[in-house]
Chains A and B, each alone.
Chain A
Amino acid sequence: MSELLAGQPGERRLFLGNEAIARAALEAGVALAACYPGTPSSEIGDRLYEVSRTGRLVFEYSTNEKVALEVAAGASAAGWRALASMKHVGVNVAADALMTLAYVGVKGGLVLVSADDPSLFSSQNEQDNRLYARFAGIPMLEPESPQEAKDMTLAAFALSEELGLPVMLRTTTRVNHTRGVVSLGELAPPPPPGRFVKDPFSLVMVPAVARQAHARLLAKQERARALAESSPFNRLLGSGPLGVVASGVAAAYVADALLELGLQDRVTFLRLGFTYPLPEDLIARFLSRVDKVLVVEELEPYLEDALKALAQSRGLTVPIRGKGEGLFSRLYEFHPGLVRRVLAEFCQMPHEAPQPLPAAAELLGRPLPERPPILCPGCPHRAMYYAIKIALRDLGVEGVFPTDIGCYTLGLLPPLSMADYLICMGSSITTACGLSRASGQKVVAFIGDSTFFHGGLTGLANAVHNRHDLLLVILDNGTTAMTGHQPHPGVTLTPPDYPGQPVDLAAVVRGLGVTQFWRVNPLKYKESLAAAKEAVAAQGVRVLLAQSPCPLYVARLKGKRPTARFQISGDCGECRHCLEYLGCPAMYVTEAESRRQLLIDPDLCAGCAFCVQLCDHIRPAKRGKS
Chain B
Amino acid sequence: MLRMRIFMTGVGGQGTLLASRVLGEAALAAGFTPLLSETHGMAQRGGVVTSTVILGDLKSPIISPGEADIVLAFEALEALRALEFCHAHTLMLANTAVIPPYPVAVGQVSYPPVGDMLAVVAGQVGGLLAFDASALARQAGSPLAVNMVLLGALAATDTLPVSAEDLKQVIRDKTNPRFVDANLTAFDLGAAAARDPENWHRRPAA
Chain A residues within 8 Å of B, Cβ to Cβ: 12, 14, 16, 39-40, 121-122, 144-145, 174, 177-181, 249, 252-253, 255-256, 259, 335-338, 353-360, 363-364, 366-376, 407, 410, 415, 482, 579, 583, 585, 587-589, 596, 603
Interface residues of B (CB under 8 A from A): 11-12, 20-21, 24-25, 28, 33-48, 57-67, 77-78, 80-81, 83-84, 86-88, 100-107, 109-112, 116-117, 120, 123-125, 143
Is the CB–CB distance between B65 and A356 below 8 Å?
yes
A16's closest neighbor in chain B, by CB?
Answer: B38
* CB–CB A354/B35 < 8 A: no
- Choose one: B25, B58, B109; the contact of A369 (CB below 8 Å): B109
**Which B residues lie within 8 Å of A579 (CB)?**
106-107
A583 touches B106 (CB 8 A): yes
Q: Which residues of B contact A357 (CB under 8 A)?
A: 66, 83-84, 86-88, 124-125
Chain B residues closer than 8 Å to A596, beta-carbon distance: 107
Check B47–A336 contact: CB distance below 8 A. no
By a CB distance below 8 angstroms, the chain A residues around B110 are 369
Q: Which of B59, B102, B120, B124 meets A585, CB within 8 Å?
A: B102
In angstroms, Cα B104 to Cα A579, docked, is: 12
B184 to chain A, nearest CB (A): 21
Contacting residue for B103 out of A39, A370, A373, A587, CB 8 A: A370
4 nearest A-B pairs in the assembled complex, by CB-CB distance: A122-B41, A337-B64, A373-B47, A588-B105
A338 with B64, Cβ < 8 A, contacts A174-B37, A364-B112, A366-B112 known: yes
Q: Are B38 and A252 neighbours in the complex by a CB distance under 8 Å?
A: no
A122 & B40 in contact (Cβ 8 Å cutoff): yes
| List of B residues within 8 angstroms of A40 by Cβ | 40-41
Q: In the assembled complex, how far is the CB of residue B144 from the closest CB belonging to chain A, in whole angstroms?
A: 10
Does the CB pair A588–B100 fall under 8 Å? yes
A-B CB contact pairs (8 Å), 14 listed: A39-B41, A122-B41, A177-B38, A180-B33, A180-B36, A181-B33, A252-B59, A355-B66, A355-B87, A356-B66, A370-B101, A374-B46, A410-B42, A585-B46
The answer to whether residues A363 and B38 also contact, given A253-B60, A373-B44, A374-B45 and a CB cut-off of 8 A, is no
A378–B81 alpha-carbon span in the complex (Å): 28
Which residues of A lie under 8 Å from residue B60 when comparing CB positions? 249, 252-253, 256, 335-336
CB neighbours (8 Å) of A368 from chain B are 77, 80-81, 112
Min CB–CB distance B91 → chain A (angstroms): 14
A184 → chain B closest CB, angstroms: 13
Bound: A178/B60 CA distance, A: 10
Beyond A39-B40, A121-B39, whether A374 also contacts B28 by CB under 8 A is no
Residues of B within 8 A of A410 (CB): 42, 45
